[in-house]
């Protein structure tokens, strides 16, 4: 772990500032960082071996204390007395979102080991608006915080800077530090939050007043902010980095943020019911799976693993949540498997996260695919601020647009061609113009919505 001299941990011993002796909570966090610092450089095989040791412990726990899983594990041939193999693991059926929704208490552990700390409960609406209840432990929260800190350290953030956060349920507040886990270890600069419900005008005025070094929000909101600033020539002079979370990343976003504010974008991939799944590589735009916390499979329709460059469904197993383990959980997102990273980290690479599976476009022959995302980069060259593709029928697709001005016939023609290529069929494109395109349930924006997707129960 590389800590700048300005970010030496806070000492708990009076009269001693350096080297610091942190208090026990901070020391535990640093001890975990020490291990994460080592394990990120292990080979893929070494990481997998340790994951399967932890997986065996998790499955044994699930076997003993959750009847729902005991039946599944028995049927797959799992035996707590022998090490779990990839073959046994792959025989376990996938756990779908609708099963988690209907299983209720059946997925909860009855005897939580004391050292995992207290159980907590949460609820997530997801983009569909159908709530999903989940539980975790103090230990699973601790792992999540350790990965938050890893993200900061990977991207060498200056903890003395000011952090601005715009998200749902945030309220308008200013606090004196970045909050846990950073403030647990280090003295930090201030943080300010604003609710995502504020208009773009209000958000921009707030950002000009706050002058943050770092800005964290959802990709669609950042895109609107950056476009607004570009259009009005507004600079955010102190801003050093934009951080995004919570939605499929829009490939046009990086270019727009560079143009508007001259800053890079760093994305994270997480889910409330799982925690962090992948963090952006410090040197590249792709993601590294957080193998110390989750076992990720990217699977083809036939259930086999995707090769590099192939699109498949994300299936995630959280390795440390003993209150409500999610084992082979089909999270509903599509992703492209990446090749090993030149940065040297052995953590597997996800090239791109494409978003929700229910947003696949259905062609008239019944086949489904995710539109090639090349169209998003075209937004840069056309006066388009926001676009949403809504498949209405097997022949018709509505293109909702928020534009700076009406498109010229040439631009319209160009967009038609790009969209037909991306969609893979000459759909009738029905353009509608809007002041803004509202977010879905849970405050998330979706680029693509299919109203005719094959019914996938969720």
List contacts with Zn ion (CB under 5 A). 281, 341, 343, 345
C-beta of residue 177 within 8 angstroms of C-beta of residue 183: yes
Q: Which residues contact 142 (CB under 8 A, 6 or more apart)?
A: 28, 29, 32, 117
> How far are the Cα atoms of 329, 355, 394, 429 from residue 358, in angstroms, in the given order?
16, 9, 15, 20
Name the residue nearer to Zn ion (CB basis): 323 or 352.
Answer: 352
- The structure tokens listed for 389 are 């593709």
Q: Which CB, 243 or 345, lies closer to Zn ion?
A: 345
Say how far apart CA 261 and CA 206 lie, in whole Å.
Answer: 16
Residue nearer to Zn ion on the CB measure, 152 or 345: 345
| Closer residue to Zn ion, CB minimum distance, 346 or 443 | 346
Nearer to Zn ion, 281 or 352 (CB): 281
Q: Please, which contacts does 299-302 make with residues 24 or more away whose CB atoms are closer than 8 Å? A: none
Closest CA to 168 of 120, 220, 214, 213: 220
Q: Tell me, what DSSP letter sits at residue 125? A: -
Smaller CB distance to Zn ion: residue 114 or 342?
A: 342
Distance between CA 7 and CA 30 in Å, rounded?
13
Nearer to Zn ion, 255 or 341 (CB): 341
Rounded CA gap, 29 and 22, in Å? 10
CA distances from 111 to 79, 298, 322, 323, 453 (A): 20, 32, 9, 9, 41
| Nearest-approach distance from CB 46 to Zn ion, in angstroms | 16
- Report, in Å, the least distance between residue 286 CB and Zn ion: 7
- Check: CB of residue 63 under 8 Å from CB of residue 73: yes
Q: How many CB atoms lie within 10 A of CB 119?
A: 17
Q: Which is nearer to Zn ion, 345 or 458 (CB)?
A: 345
Q: How far is the CB of 343 from Zn ion (least distance, A)?
A: 3
- Would you list the DSSP string of 182-200? HHHHS----EEEEETTS-H
Answer positive or negative: Cα dihedral of 398, 404, 408, 412.
negative
Question: Can you say whether the dihedral through the CA atoms of 324, 329, 334, 338 is positive or negative?
Answer: positive
Least distance (Å) between residue 421 CB and Zn ion? 31
- Minimum gap (Å) between residue 152 Cβ and Zn ion: 16
Smallest distance from the beta carbon of 240 to Zn ion, in angstroms?
21
Question: 281 or 299, CB closer to Zn ion?
Answer: 281
Query: Least CB distance from residue 339 to Zn ion, whole Å?
Result: 11
Helix, strand, coil percent values for the chain (each to nearest 5): 35, 25, 40
Instruction: Pick the closest to residue 454 from 386, 358, 370, 372 (CA basis).
Output: 358
CB of 115 to Zn ion, least distance (A): 33
Contact residues for 9 (Cβ-Cβ < 8 A; gap 6+)? 3, 20, 22, 26, 30, 185, 186
Specify the DSSP class assigned to residue 136: E
Q: Toward Zn ion, which CB reaches closer, 200 or 343?
A: 343
Q: Closest CB to Zn ion among 79 and 339?
A: 339
Q: How far is the CB of 206 from Zn ion (least distance, A)?
A: 34
CB of 65 to Zn ion, least distance (A): 37
> Shortest gap between Cβ of 324 and Zn ion (angstroms)?
31
């Amino acid at each position: 772990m590389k800590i700048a001299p300005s970010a030496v941990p806070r000492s708990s011993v009076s009269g001693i500032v350096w080297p610091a002796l942190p208090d026990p909570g901070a020391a535990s966090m640093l001890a975990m960082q020490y291990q994460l610092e080592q394990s990120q450089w292990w080979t893929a095989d070494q990481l997998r071996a340790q994951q399967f040791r932890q997986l065996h412990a998790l499955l044994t726990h699930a076997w003993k204390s959750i009847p729902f899983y005991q039946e599944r594990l028995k049927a797959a041939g799992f035996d707590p007395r022998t090490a779990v193999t990839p073959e046994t693991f792959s025989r376990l059926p996938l756990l779908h979102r609708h099963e988690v929704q209907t299983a209720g208490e059946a997925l909860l552990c009855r005897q939580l080991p004391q050292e995992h700390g207290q159980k907590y409960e949460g609820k997530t609406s997801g983009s569909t608006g159908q709530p999903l209840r989940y539980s975790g432990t103090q230990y699973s929260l601790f792992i999540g915080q350790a990965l938050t800190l890893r993200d900061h350290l990977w991207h060498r953030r200056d903890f003395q800077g000011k952090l601005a956060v715009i998200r749902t349920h945030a309220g308008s507040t200013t606090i004196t530090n970045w909050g846990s886990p950073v403030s647990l270890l280090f003295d930090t600069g201030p943080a300010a939050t604003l609710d995502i419900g504020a208009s773009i005008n209000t958000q921009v005025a707030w950002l000009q007043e706050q002058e943050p070094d770092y800005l964290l929000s959802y990709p669609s909101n950042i895109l609107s902010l950056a476009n607004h600033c570009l259009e009005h020539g507004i600079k955010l002079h102190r801003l050093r980095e934009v951080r995004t979370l919570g939605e499929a990343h829009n490939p046009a976003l990086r270019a727009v943020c560079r143009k508007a504010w001259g800053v890079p974008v760093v994305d994270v991939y997480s889910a409330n019911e799982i925690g962090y799944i992948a963090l952006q590589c410090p040197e590249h735009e792709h993601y590294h799976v957080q193998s110390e916390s989750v076992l990720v499979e990217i699977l083809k329709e036939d259930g086999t693993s995707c090769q590099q460059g192939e699109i498949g469904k994300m299936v995630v197993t959280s390795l440390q949540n003993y209150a409500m383990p999610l084992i082979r959980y089909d999270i509903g997102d599509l992703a492209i498997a990446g090749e090993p990273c030149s940065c040297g980290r052995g953590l597997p690479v996800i090239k791109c996260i494409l978003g929700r599976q229910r947003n696949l476009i259905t062609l008239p022959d019944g086949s489904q695919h995710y539109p090639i995302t090349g169209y998003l980069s075209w937004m840069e060259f056309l006066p388009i601020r926001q676009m949403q593709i809504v498949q209405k029928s097997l022949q018709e697709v509505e293109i909702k647009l928020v534009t700076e001005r009406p498109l010229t016939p040439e631009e319209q023609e160009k967009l038609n061609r790009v969209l037909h290529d991306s969609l893979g069929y000459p759909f009738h494109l029905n353009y509608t113009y809007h002041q803004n395109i509202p977010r879905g349930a849970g405050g998330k924006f979706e680029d693509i919505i299919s109203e005719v997707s094959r019914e996938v129960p969720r």
